[in-house]
Structure 1
Amino acid sequence: MIVNRRMGSDQPNEHDELEQHLTQKLNVPLDWPEGGNLTASHVAVIAAAATCDTAYNQAANGHLIDLFAALPLPGTADGRSFWKRIRDAGGIAAMNIDPANMGGPFFDRIHNGNESGIASRILSFLGELAPSQRTAVAEVIGSALDRRTIGVGGSYGGELWLRDAEMSAWRVALASRREFETAQDRERFFEAWRRA
């Protein structure tokens, strides 16, 4: 379910889509439990805030894992051949994502909360590729995608994989900068735009 969630409303009695979902689909009154310190309306605000904070880094990292899961597995015959072809096509840039260079439990660390590790490697990999190398890498990736389950393959499928990985990695990197942002930084941002 995708909902538009506003933090606050100009109309005090106007419910946003998440609050409407709680009341209509889950049959939960927004002031439930009456007199409680934490109501369903509060839960909606908390859920929206948590989604804003984690959607870009955790969900995008999960998506990056899914993208790599669509490729041949390291340590298998297909995987050894595939990763050799990636190294041949991508040159030194491919070392950023080469399984032997990333270390064994790299994806375990991402799964357990290392938020920007794979993102920075993917952005370095793609940023260092020459246009001809990117085309060659897209060919290699596209040739390895399972057309039956994904629906595309070849250079087009490979280019889609690269674009998706690039945008997902960018979202993780962009969200990671917020770790260093304070409430004063955020207020300074709004104030500067109000005065612009």
Structure 2
Amino acid sequence: MIVRHHLDKDDELAQHLTNQLNTPLDWPDGGELDTAHVVRIAAAAACDVSHAQAANGHLVDLFAALPLPGTPDGREFWRALGQAGGDAVLYIVPANAGGPFFDYLINGNEAGIAARVLSFLEALDDGERDAVAELIGSALDVLGGARYLGNLWLRDAETTAWHVVLASRRRHDTAEDRERFLESWRNA
């Protein structure tokens, strides 16, 4: 993680800590760990995971906007999606993705779900993508043209899945990797 947060006595976070949480910035006096250290730790933790978690949550929200598997509408929708998208749909169709498709997110396999979404989108040819967009757009409970809305859904799913995959890759970076990155840019 490259983000740094410096605690300044006049910034909003410092004011919140002192006024709302009644935590002096130099607490505890003379201690090894003070409020500023705790804030840096919290900021690092939040930056490290919040982006991926937000993207995962959004990916789930996109699928939640579609007809639910196991319902009459859902069975029809997923059958029609399979016909419209061909073999590409096998990456995301509920019966093939593993029953607990979104349970994997809870268990920390965020990139696996996102990779399936990206594989699905990559495998669609132009005609299949148009047919899938039309079907998804028709299933959304939003005003607008079906193909346009479906294409928005597909682009959003693609970008969101990419964010998850990229964030998952970055999680394994070490301090040396980050320093090499910064040094490389400084010397460019």
Tell me the TM-score range normalised by the shorter chain: 0.7 to 0.9
Is 2:101 the counterpart of 1:121? no
C-alpha distance 144-182 of structure 1, shift in aligned 2 (>3 A):
same
Paired with 1:105 and 1:125, the residues of 2 have a C-alpha distance of 18
Paired with 1:111 and 1:46, the residues of 2 have a C-alpha distance of 24
- Does the 8 A contact of 2:104 with 2:113 survive in 1? no
Q: Tell me how far 1:32 sits from its aligned partner.
A: 3.7
Is 2:166 the counterpart of 1:174? yes
- Does the 8 A contact of 1:62 with 1:111 survive in 2? no
- The count of corresponding residues between Structure 1 and Structure 2 is 186
Is 2:52 the counterpart of 1:62? no
1:3 equivalent in structure 2: none
1:132 equivalent in structure 2: 127
Paired with 1:116 and 1:32, the residues of 2 have a C-alpha distance of 39
Give the AA of the match of 2:76.
S
Give the AA of the match of 1:51.
A
Is 2:180 the counterpart of 1:185? no
C-alpha RMSD over aligned residues: 2.3
Unaligned runs of 5+ in 1: 1-5
CA deviation map 1:66-113 (0-9, x unaligned): 111111111111001101111111111111111111011121121222
Paired with 1:13 and 1:68, the residues of 2 have a C-alpha distance of 42
Give the AA of the match of 2:41.
I
Query: Mean Cα displacement is larger for which, 88-97 or 128-137?
Result: 128-137
Q: TM-score, normalised by structure 1?
A: 0.83
Write out aligned runs for 1:152-171 (5 A).
154-171=146-163
C-alpha distance 152-52 of structure 1, shift in aligned 2 (>3 A):
farther
Paired with 1:168 and 1:122, the residues of 2 have a C-alpha distance of 9
Q: TM-score, normalised by structure 2?
A: 0.86
Unaligned runs of 5+ in 2: none
Is 2:4 the counterpart of 1:7? yes
Give the AA of the match of 2:62.
L
